[in-house]
Every structure is written in C-alpha cells, then in structure tokens.
Structure 1
Amino acid sequence: MRAENGHTAGAVERRDGPNCSPHGPEPSISVKVGTMLVLALRDVQSLKLKIELRGLAKSVTIQNLVCAPFLLVFILTAVESDQLWHTRSLQTFLWERLWCCSLFKVLVYFGGIVLATTLYFLYHPRRVYMLDFACHKPHEKNAISKQGLLNYAGSSGLLSDKSLDFMRKILERSGLGDSTYVPAAITSTPADRSMVAAREEAATNMFCSLDELFAKTGVNSKDVKILVVNSSVFCPTPSLSAMVVNRYKMRSDIKSINVSGMGCSAGLIAIDLAKDLLHGCYRNSYAIVCSQEILCRNSYCGNDRAKLVSNCLFRMGGAAVLLSNRSRDRWRAKYELMHTVRTHTGPNDKCYQCVVEEEDEEGRIGVTLSKDLMSVAGEALKINISTLGPLVLPWMEQLQFIISMVGRKVFKTNTKPYIPDFKTAFEHFCIHAGGRAVLDEVEKNLHLTEWHMEPSRMTLYRFGNTSSSSLWYELAYCEAKGRVKKGDRIWQIAFGSGFKCNSAVWRALRTIAPPALNPWDGIIDQYPVKGVSVPCELVFPLQSAASAGTSERQSVGRDLSNP
C-alpha cells in the first residue's frame, strides 16, 4: 500500500512540477485504469478474431472462398481506419497475425481453387446431349413391294433371265417387306439417273427430316454452329451440306462438313466427328448430323451378280440428329452420348476390298459386295467389342473374359473364346439393318434374344436398308413401343466399307413417351410381324411385258403400300 501510495504521490508531484505537459493536466488514475481495460479488451477481441480467422482457413468451403475477397477488403479497411483503431500497436499486431496465420492461407486456398476450376473447364470435355432426332418417312406414292421391284427390273430389258432369277432369290430371302420406299426416278421409264433427280432425292430426305427436327426442338437454324452431312456415294458440287446451309440460311461462321465414301457406318462417324468438335473449342454449341443415301444415281443396270445385291436391299430414307454441349439443355435432352468406338480393318486387303464401287465389264458402275462380307463383318465386330467392352461391361464379365483369354494365350487351352454377355451392359440394341444375313450374324455372335433383335428386323422389314440412317429408324421403333426408360443404355452398331465397324453408346436421361412425330406413328401396333425371316415366293417377271410394268407402277402405291 505504501509503495502504491508513494508511486501515486510521486506521479502527482511530477505532474505539478516544471516538466508538466504543455497540453494541460494528464488524466486521473481512474481514466488511466479505464484506458488499460479498453486496451485489454481490444487485445482479447483481436485474439478472438485471429482464432476465428484461423478456424475459417481450416474449414474452407466454396461459399467461404467466394466471400473471401469481400471479407479481406473489409478487414483491411477497418485496420486502416483511424476511427475504428486508435492504437498503432494493435493495428500492427492484427496485421502481422492475420497475414501470417490466416490471410496467406485463405489467399492460397482461394487461388488454388480458382486455378483448378479454370483448368477443369478448359480441358475437361463437356457432356454431349441428344436433344432429339427425326426420320424421314417417304410418301406412299414411293412405296414398292418386292414383286413390284422385280417386275420393274424385268421391264427394263437390261437384265438377263439369270440375273432376274438371282434377284428373285435375293428378294425372297432379304427380310424386306412389301412397304419399303424407292425414289420415283428409279421406277420411271426409263429410269432417271440425272443430277437433277439425285438432288431432288437428297433435298427430300434432308429437308423433310430437318423440318421435323426443328419443329420438335424449337431450335433456330441460325443457332447451329456445326453441321455434318453424310452421303456415301453421291457427292455433288456444291456439297449436300452447302444445300442445307443455303436452304435454312444458317450463320456464316458455321462449321459445315460433308462426309462421303464411308459406307453405311458414316452416320456414327458423323456423330463421332460432331462429338469431337463439341468437346473441343466449340462450347455452348448446337450440332446437327444429317444422314442419308441417294439411290437414283447409284442403282446398277448390269448383270454382275455381286453388284445386283445392293439393288435388292437399299431403300429410300434419311435422318437428322440435334446434339448440344450446353449444360442448360440437359433437362430437355433425351439422351447423353457416353462412348463412341471406331474400328477400321482397312490394312487387311480382304477387308478393304469386300465393298467396292467399280465398273463391270460393260462399263456400268455399281457397288460390289464380296462373298467374304459376313466373315469380315464378324471379325470387325470382335475387334470393336474388345475395345468397347472394358468401357461398358460389369467387372464380373470382364474378369471372365480375361480368364478365358489367359487360358488360351498362356496355357494354350482349346476352349472357345468367352463372349461377354452384353445384355448386362445394354437394354436396347440398334444394329445396322444391312440385311437378314448381317442381323443373323450379329445375333449369333452376341447371343441376343428375339426381343433385342426386334427393332433391327422390323426396320429392315418396314423400311429396308436405308444405309447410315437405319439406326435412327430402329431407335424410333424403341420409342414408339414405349420401351425406353430413364437410365436405359442403347448400343448402336454400324458396318461400312473400308471395312469399318463403329459403335455409339447412349444413356436415356428420362423415360421417353411415344412421340407424335415418328416414322412408326399409326402403324406401330402392327409390329412385330412374325415370320419375317421365312423366305417368300415371287413370280418370275416377263421381260417383254413393258405394259404390265407400266400398270404395276400405277398400282404399286395403291395396292402394295400397306405393311
């Protein structure tokens, strides 16, 4: 007490002495104690603030990082404000502690998140969605039966009896029905193979399917940034893609691509090409894929049997598909593109030459189909599924496949190669309807059921081989039957000259109700048709019956157009 009293008295005496402050008397004892308490409280508050900021840095979330810049600005402004902070020592203490303990960590975390997010969106490919697709259903005046086609071939006077008999046998076993379509230029007398007729056929296929596609989706043609058109044999100048750009007055910077010479697998090649462009630098974009084959310029009029097969199988048709990589389109998209796998067996001469467009001995151009086509297609399919399998098959199927392969390669066992059960990976199969023999080969190799093969067989029966667009008629069949449920996986398989086997895997984003605009609308209840694989009997045509051919042309659309 004495020391305290003495200290206090001394302090009072110094204030009264000659060294007193020129600004007047200093604060009293109570004022000084109050000031010390305020400083202590501020120290406690600053320590509490430091602890809170340290906890903030340890539990960083996206919301904290978004608010971090605003929080830092507020703190720094408060530190520099003389109205809020009266002591320089507290400001320095807070600044050093905040910077060393929390600010630096927050800035590093925030910068790292921003950098990682930027790199992710720059280099991670966006998802590709299919908003919708449309298939062209030709007019009933273009309908033709197998007997009608055979009669036309006989009335042309260009084919021998042996060639007509060969066509009859092919048509009887083709798996085609009596309601397929051919362009009017083929069934006219004489057949019109002019460039004008070919362009009219191309315009009909493309514009009808594109008009329906734009009507379904409500997308403006000027919003489309990528256009891929494929037609294997017909490749005019200006190109088919230029025809589409001109018709719909698309934007001047559109990436327009015309794919030709790729055979019946060109549709999936176009899908894969559009996917790569959407994954690349074209972000927030629409892409359209338009697939068809033009017949009137490519029908064969000679007696080479290998070239007559295509006359019996190919029919008129086309399809258009709208793709998008915009995230906001996911809610209205039908499917998401999961995988595309392309297989090319061109290095093998036998594979390369199994489908060739060439001239016969008389100089007539046609597409030659080799007798090795089925075996080549089977080998290409095996290579394709060996690449696709690890991407889609359950681990148990992959394990059994590896065990089988090790047994044959390492231990030299004579067991047959294990064929994975792809029914565990897919709910729906859309196999290119190239012909009954092709479908039989795929069904046997993949151990598929009649239900799985139904879309492909019914498409072949109703529309014939429409080349690259046949896959979309098959998917339309699944939708018309109401089979596609949310989460279902669809496998599209296509074969083409070269020789190529291509696959595309789609996943349904929602349950698809039977659409109103569908090539199967109004007739879907009549399918499936039983016995489509059973050969029918056709009447051998009379070559001299030109008048009979004329009457057949007039009545075919009326009498033979019903499925």
Structure 2
Amino acid sequence: MAAYLQNIATAVPDQIYQQDFLRDKMKEYLSDDRATRSIIHRIYSQSGIEKRHTVVNDFNANGDPRLFFQQDGSVAAPSTGTRNSLYSEHAKKLFVDVARSLITDTPDIEADDITHVITVSCTGFFAPGPGYEIVKQLGLSRSTQRFHLGFMGCFAAFPALKMAKSFCDSQDDAVVLVICLELCSLHFQRSRETDHLISASVFADGGAGALVSNRTPQNNQTVYKLDRFATSIIEQSEDDMAWTIGDTGFDMILSTYVPELIESNLQSALKPLLEAYDTNKDQINHWAIHPGGRAILDKVEKNLGLEVQQLASSRSVLSDYGNMSSATILFVLKHLLDQPMQQSPERVLGMAFGPGLTVESGLFLKQRG
C-alpha cells in the first residue's frame, strides 16, 4: 500500500530580522574587545543567512519589556520557566495555523478525515499538548489519535514521517497530520563561547507540517510518495551536538567540528542508506539536506560531488529562514515540491543531522497524480 505526502504547509512568526542587523547588535551587546567582535562578524557574515524569523521582538519592543537585549545595554538571562511560558503562548497558535493550512489547502480533505496527529518539538513543553490544541481548535474528532515526539532535535521530522507511514500501512483510511514547530530563539545564551555564538547565528523560529495518507493523488496533483527511511549514527560524536535543559533555557551544543565530522563520515553513513534504498548516488535527482549551517551544505556538496542546483532548495531555505531545527527539512521539501518537474517520478533524498550525531534520511518519489 502506497503512502503519499500530499501537502506541506509552513508558518513563521511575523517578526523578521536581517542577519547583518543581528550581527551588529550581537557585536554591540556581547563584545567589548576586538577579537570577539571579529569572531562574531565572521560567523554572521559567512552564515549563508539573509534573514530569520523570531518570536523575540526586543529590537521592536516600543517600551514593552524585553526578553534578552535590554535598553540599558545589558543582556538578560531569563529563567527556563519564563522562556517556556513564552513558548506555550506562541507555539499553540503556530501549531494550529500549520494544521489548519494543511487541511484547508489539501484537495478532498476535511477535518473529519484526520485520524492521527503527530506533533514534534524540542524547544518547549506544555500539557495538554499541541495535538490537543489542534484537535480542539480545528474541531477534529475527539477520537483522533495524538502522538508527540520531543527533544529529538533537527532530524525529528523523519521519525515523525516514518510513524505516519506506519499508520497508513496498517490502516487503509488513515489521514495523518505531522506538525514540527520550533522556537529556537527563546533559548539564546548570553555566552561568548564560540559554540554558543554559532548557535545564536543560525537558529530561528518556524513551523511546518505534512499531510500523509494512502489516498491516490488526483487531478495532476504533485505529491511525494514515501518510499523508504534509514538511520545511521556517526560514532564518537555525541559531545559535538547535544541539547540539554539548564536553569536559563535549553543549552544547544553545536561544535565547530560538526561540518568536518559530517564530511569525514558521510560516505560511510550514506552507503547503508543507499543500499537500503536499492539505489546509487547518481540516480538521485535532488538532495534535500537539512541546512544546519552553510559549512554543512558546503561539505556535503563537496564530499558527494553534487551539482550546485542539487542543493539549491537547501541553500534557499537557509538564506530565507535560517535553521529552525526539526521544521527546516519540511521547508526544504516544500521548496522542492513547488518546483516544476523535469520528469516523473523524480527521486529526492532527504537527510538531516541531529544529536548523536545521528543521520536520518528518507527517499521520496516526487510524482504527479
């Protein structure tokens, strides 16, 4: 039985900051020496990011209380509780907005058709959870099954899609919403350590969702057929990408060594994936790589010998949105889904990297109904 990703919807906070504006503000607030200012300037200028969305509006506060960057020039370190309260306030709306768009914009799908809701996030918690909010606010059936994947990081969309496919494989009438929502900017750390500066330069806020079902696409609709998924772990790398809860927010460790770790281990990690997919690198039309940072995309492109256009969607999403953790790969897949097809089907290999260092991937067949 075939499972199809029939639609992808995205949502971002209204507040937008240009990357060069944030670069200059970071230099102003966090550095009082030339060396640190130079590091900040280089990190931000070479990030491959033009702008990012955030729920933090410190620089447009108009007299309202600021979260981090105070008017007297100091940088606050709000408690984890304060940050999580803001997460709950903003995340509920964005989760529901994405789910509403998926239902409204998918042909022949109504609220009553939804059988499962899978929500994903690693940047906050509340209960009743986001699945409950979606069911309640959109009037879904009270019997809708709800699942939440938490604290998995940037690769979490893949386990969620895997779960959705399993539901469709076992239930003919399954119609599954997968919603990934991250508010990474709430966990900014006022540290001058290079790893923290890198995290602050790339992470952003946004949500994205996918609607998955067994329904055969109609009326020339362009969809992804979910083919296969695979997982691989890069050994002795767990200290280079980690996510822990502290007293002043969640502490993301994103080592400067991550791009090199990915480059040196990509071929060995990719080999079992391609074997699982019964394909080879040259048969992949598009690569939907999670844009954790420009250096990661550069290393993947060089290591795999890819053409520039094969990573165009990943670079476009990085430029326009930054790294939104688990939601980001769905932005990339949507960008690719919206592009004109040169043939049918087209093979798309999606890949994301997260704590572990874990490599999650999926093979998607882009095709018309």
User: Would you say same fold, with TM above 0.5?
Assistant: yes
The one-letter amino acid of 1:309's match is: I
| Displacement after TM superposition at 1:450 (Å) | 0.8
The one-letter amino acid of 1:195's match is: N
User: Larger helix proportion, structure 1 or 2?
Assistant: 1
Is 1:425 the counterpart of 2:283 in the alignment?
Answer: yes
Question: Contact 1:430–1:492 at 8 Å: present in 2 too?
Answer: yes
The one-letter amino acid of 1:263's match is: G
CA 1:198/1:160 → structure 2, altered by over 3 Å: closer, same or farther? farther
Match of 1:267 among 151, 154, 157: 157
Aligned residues: 350
1:456-502 CA distance string (max 9 Å, x none) = 11111111112222223223333444246421111111111122111
| Displacement after TM superposition at 1:247 (Å) | 2.0
Match of 2:7 among 110, 127, 132: 132
Match of 1:304 among 193, 204, 210: 193
Is 1:319 the counterpart of 2:319 in the alignment?
Answer: no
Tell me the residue number matched to 1:373: 258
1:370-392 CA distance string (max 9 Å, x none) = 23312333455334422222244
CA 1:384/1:288 → structure 2, altered by over 3 Å: closer, same or farther? farther
Identity within the alignment, %: 21
Match of 1:278 among 165, 168, 186: 168
| Displacement after TM superposition at 1:510 (Å) | 1.1
Where relative contact order (Cα < 8 A, 6+ residues apart) is larger, the structure is 2
Tell me the residue number matched to 1:385: 270
1:114-139 CA distance string (max 9 Å, x none) = xxxxxxxxxxxx21111111122543
| Displacement after TM superposition at 1:294 (Å) | 1.2
TM-score, normalising length: structure 2: 0.85
1:345-370 CA distance string (max 9 Å, x none) = 4xx4x32221123489x977521212
Counterparts of 1:108-147 in structure 2 under 5 Å? Answer: 126-139=1-14, 142-147=15-20
| Displacement after TM superposition at 1:160 (Å) | 4.9
| Displacement after TM superposition at 1:212 (Å) | 1.9
CA 1:307/1:358 → structure 2, altered by over 3 Å: closer, same or farther? farther
The one-letter amino acid of 1:128's match is: A
Tell me the residue number matched to 1:191: 67
CA 1:225/1:442 → structure 2, altered by over 3 Å: closer, same or farther? same
Task: Give the Cα–Cα distance (whole angstroms) in 2 for the partners of residues 128 and 384 of structure 1.
Answer: 26
The one-letter amino acid of 2:299's match is: E
Question: Contact 2:84–2:125 at 8 Å: present in 1 too?
Answer: no
Provide structure 2 residue ranges, at least 5 long, that are not aligned to the other structure.
Answer: 69-81
Counterparts of 1:55-134 in structure 2 under 5 Å? Answer: 126-134=1-9
Task: Give the Cα–Cα distance (whole angstroms) in 2 for the partners of residues 268 and 429 of structure 1.
Answer: 15
Question: Contact 2:203–2:322 at 8 Å: present in 1 too?
Answer: yes
CA 1:427/1:332 → structure 2, altered by over 3 Å: closer, same or farther? same
TM-score, normalising length: structure 1: 0.57
Question: Contact 1:134–1:209 at 8 Å: present in 2 too?
Answer: yes
Is 1:462 the counterpart of 2:338 in the alignment?
Answer: no
Is 1:223 the counterpart of 2:113 in the alignment?
Answer: yes
The one-letter amino acid of 2:172's match is: R
What do you get for the CA RMSD once the two structures are aligned?
Answer: 2.7
| Displacement after TM superposition at 1:308 (Å) | 2.2
CA 1:485/1:216 → structure 2, altered by over 3 Å: closer, same or farther? farther
CA 1:386/1:450 → structure 2, altered by over 3 Å: closer, same or farther? same
Task: Give the Cα–Cα distance (whole angstroms) in 1 for the partners of residues 310 and 217 of structure 2.
Answer: 33
Task: Give the Cα–Cα distance (whole angstroms) in 1 for the partners of residues 100 and 211 of structure 2.
Answer: 12
CA 1:355/1:261 → structure 2, altered by over 3 Å: closer, same or farther? same
CA 1:225/1:163 → structure 2, altered by over 3 Å: closer, same or farther? farther
Task: Give the Cα–Cα distance (whole angstroms) in 2 for the partners of residues 359 and 247 of structure 1.
Answer: 30
Task: Give the Cα–Cα distance (whole angstroms) in 2 for the partners of residues 324 and 233 of structure 1.
Answer: 28
Task: Give the Cα–Cα distance (whole angstroms) in 2 for the partners of residues 184 and 276 of structure 1.
Answer: 37
| Displacement after TM superposition at 1:204 (Å) | 4.1
The one-letter amino acid of 1:454's match is: A
Task: Give the Cα–Cα distance (whole angstroms) in 1 for the partners of residues 342 and 354 of structure 2.
Answer: 27
CA 1:273/1:359 → structure 2, altered by over 3 Å: closer, same or farther? closer
| Displacement after TM superposition at 1:287 (Å) | 0.7
State the secondary structure of the residue aligned to 1:263. coil
User: Larger strand proportion, structure 1 or 2?
Assistant: 2
State the secondary structure of the residue aligned to 1:445. helix
